[in-house]
Chains A and B, each alone.
Chain A
């Protein structure tokens, strides 16, 4: 058996899908369940190719419904299990993810967003924000990280396993087709040398001893007979979610101290915005940038405070207002005007963002 997948740290040049597979290996993931779909398929291919060298396993299921539930099952058995999908596959996995929400199952799922609705394109979009944050018949008790490039994909895939197992909420890395397929350099590392300790996993079911005699019985339910019973369970989950949310929330801001206009973007689009804001600052335009890294829980308090003291917000995304909806919900009460630049299923460049900001100056 080979030793650790990554010894120490080093620079590497890869596609985002390979980065995800390496990150999962570095995080000590035990098993991936999956079903092929562009632009996610190479995560499976690379995992299936490398995992056996490190004693890890892979199961290709018959479809995404199965892959989602098998991931839940793997976690119940105490495995650091994950899956990855995109677009219509994400839709099919929502039923299993709702179950994970209700039963507090720490599944990890990587989403490589593609154009929608339905099959649409296999290339790129940011149209799976609403579904990944609030999909299924649930209340959005989930944690969703939105990476902006390969280093983020590596860092946050490792982090997703720890967040999931520490807080016991289903956790998502919401990447996209561009990040899946593009190539760039990054530093890959053994988490241990960065002081990252992987949160140990444990089996939910099949524990030793007689339930009720040697230990508390394990009871995991997603079915309730009475309204009151369900209400009580849900409110307990909500309370717990609200309690841990401030510890989980992450965001990035730039040039916001004296900004008059703030551009809000997430994921790969935030890189175009960062480029645009940097260029506009060089010309003396007072523009800043705010990027939620966690879309669930959302850094609402931080954005609300910022939005309250600027003259104008601009929301930029490759969807028809899915981030915009989150922003508006979180900053309700602030009267600062909000402009938008929506390109559903299309990439956004630095030049386009500059042009949009100029319209507001």
Chain B
């Protein structure tokens, strides 16, 4: 008789957030950290508003790092330009795949609605939707702003603090974000998943932010992309 191996639970996460909140950067880094643990990971680009400018330029680099990337390529989209608001058929069925699945969900409120196009989204027991928040962005600056914004996104299961000011980021900026986002998570009754920060802050910040949340360090990929 063949013994059935108990399958480990897959990590299935979707990253949503304001335009330029850092959701793609966090999605890519999360996917790669899972690859490093020896897991099989699929990263799917769900941006159907500007599908040809997001993960496309770094697709082959990510694949060379061991990720399975579902995103458009230039040769597939020749002539479509910005007019091609298409969902790749394989992305529609992505939740049926084995292994871990990381979804980079298109920007803003409209982007979050794209999630509903995926087959099995309602009954997937592992799916966790994470809203990426940077309090340096005026629309998510205060606890009230974040509460109002997250309410507009539809389903959200957890918050992630990705507060920064680009090259002007300081440890204080990140810690202030940790306080505000943690408070917003508390008000919303959501899990506060972590703080993310660029690797250069590791010596100063260590493993946990001021609120005791774990810190995940980011390697920057998105500067190589268009938008």
Contacts and interface: CB of A to CB of B under 8 A. Distances in A.
Contacts of B164: 13
- B interface, by DSSP: helix, strand, loop or mixed? loop
Contact of B20 (A13, A122, A123, A188): A13
Interface of B: 19-20, 81-82, 134, 136-139, 141, 164-168, 173, 226-227
B167 A15 contact: no
B57 to A, nearest CB: 12
Contact of A122 (B81, B134, B139, B173): B81
B168 A15 contact: no
Contacts, number: 45
29 contacts: A11-B136, A11-B165, A11-B168, A11-B173, A12-B136, A12-B137, A12-B165, A13-B20, A13-B136, A13-B137, A13-B164, A13-B165, A14-B138, A15-B19, A15-B20, A18-B19, A18-B20, A18-B137, A22-B138, A38-B82, A42-B19, A122-B81, A181-B227, A183-B20, A184-B166, A185-B136, A185-B166, A185-B168, A188-B138
Interface string A156-196: 00000000000000000000000001011100100000000
Nearest to A37: B82
A185 B81 contact: no
Contact of B138 (A12, A123, A181, A183): A12
Contacts of A6: 138
A183 B167 CA distance: 11
A263 to B, nearest CB: 24
Specify which of A13, A38, A181, A183 lies most central, judged by the most chain B CB atoms within 10 Å of its CB: A13
Interface of A: 6, 11-15, 18, 22, 38, 42, 50, 122-123, 181, 183-185, 188
B138 to A, nearest CB: 5
Nearest to B109: A49
Q: Would you list the 3 A-B pairs with minimal beta carbon distance, nearest first?
A: A13-B136, A185-B165, A181-B227
A122 B136 contact: no
A15 B137 CA distance: 9
A185 B167 CA distance: 8
A187 B81 CA distance: 34
Contacts of B137: 12-14, 18
A22 B227 CA distance: 20
Nearest to A45: B108
Contact of B82 (A14, A50, A122): A122
Contacts of A42: 19
Contact of B166 (A18, A38, A183): A183
A13 B81 CA distance: 28
A13 B166 contact: yes
B74 to A, nearest CB: 13
Contacts of A38: 82
